Amino acid sequence: MLKRGSTIGILGGGQLGRMMAVAAAQLGYRCIGYSPEGDNVAAAVCEDFFTNEWDDKEALAAFAARCDVVTWEFENVPVETARAFPADQIFPDPRALETAQDRLSEKRFVEDLGGRPAAYAKVDSRTDLEAAADRLGAPGILKTRRDGYDGKGQWRIMSGRDAAGLKMPDAAAIYEGFVEFRAEFSVILVRGQNGEVRFWDSARNTHEGGVLAASLLPAGKVVDAQVEEARKLAGKVAQALNYVGVLTLEFFATHEGPIFNEMAPRVHNSGHWTIEGAATSQFENHIRAVAGLPLGDTRTIAEAVEMRNILGTEIEGAHAFLADADTHLHDYGKSEVREGRKMGHLTRLTRS
């Protein structure tokens, strides 16, 4: 258990790290961030920040020497960077990064645990893509196996003609068959160092242009009927990875039950509602877990919750939403405003 005043290192400098650092400060901990050059908005709430490349061994050693434990705030931290820290200093285990960073490995891992991903095929060439589209059908989605988020690194294939004419990505890829779903939802859990697991209520998610637009609670009967099965799979994933911290699995609710979409070994956009809407937020419970503290209560404390992302120039007028007393604004402090970029979020609570 980390004593008061200890230092938590955060790999990554985005809004998730920013909100983790705020939660850590409330628990009496200091945070130091580490990330290459960029709009590192977490730096504003960290005691110090290392702006160095992921493979800078000297900087990583200096960073490690100042931290009691280390965690990360996004899943594209290089596995080699995470493995540079002793196993008893970094949480979760870097194997979670290794699993999540390759979509093909991720799907096979989940299948081995009894989960059901969308039908998929490995794609290394145009011939592979055309064969996959023919076997699995179109429409479908071609995705790069590595990197890519919020709709990036993805191409919708509507027909065999699309497959034949697409400019192939210069990277290993995977083709996924189209899933006829009734709703999208997330299972977000926290697992402590002692193996205890707690779940938050699952929100119904809506996406626009590949970016999460909103998360809503209650999620509705369609989602509620499939949450238990999805939780069982998420628990198996956490157990298999000896996971410590917050873990997210995204699902499609279908007529055949929950279909696994992808996992995020970190706090998640669809869990931002927990800051005001749950007894303990995903950010606080992640810090509790990596610090070895008892986990907090994850129950929902409002009758209904709506979380909406603020994208691009929408942030300029966001203060107007505060005229509603039950609306909470989170501005991430990003200096570069561009179309589709997540600039903040709003959470509206309905109380009984």
342 is in an annotated binding site: no
Q: What per-residue string of b and e applies to 95-127 under the rule 16 or more CB within 10 Å gives b?
A: bbbbbbbebbebbebbeeeebbbbbbbebeeee
177 is in an annotated binding site: yes
257 is in an annotated binding site: no
Hey, is 298 helix, strand or coil? Answer: coil
261 is in an annotated binding site: yes
CA 232, CA 195: separation in Å to the nearest integer? 15
29 is in an annotated binding site: no
Partners of 246 in beta bridges: 190
284 is in an annotated binding site: no
153 is in an annotated binding site: yes
40 is in an annotated binding site: no
| Six-digit token string for 93 | 């285990």
148 is in an annotated binding site: yes
184 is in an annotated binding site: yes
User: How many Cα atoms are found within 13 Å in the side-chain-facing hemisphere of 187?
Assistant: 29
CA 51, CA 42: separation in Å to the nearest integer? 12
53 is in an annotated binding site: no
13 is in an annotated binding site: no
CA 201, CA 193: separation in Å to the nearest integer? 22
Partners of 48 in beta bridges: 32
103 is in an annotated binding site: yes
162 is in an annotated binding site: no
Which residue, among 302, 106, 285, 94, has the nearest Cα to 197 in the 3D structure?
285
| Six-digit token string for 1 | 């258990």
38 is in an annotated binding site: no
150 is in an annotated binding site: yes
179 is in an annotated binding site: yes
Phi, psi of 93 (to 5 degrees): -65, 135
Q: How far is CA 81 from CA 72, 101, 309, in A?
A: 11, 14, 30
The annotated binding site is made up of 103, 143, 148-154, 176-179, 184, 207, 261-262
Binding residues for ATP: 103, 143, 148-154, 176-179, 184, 207, 261-262
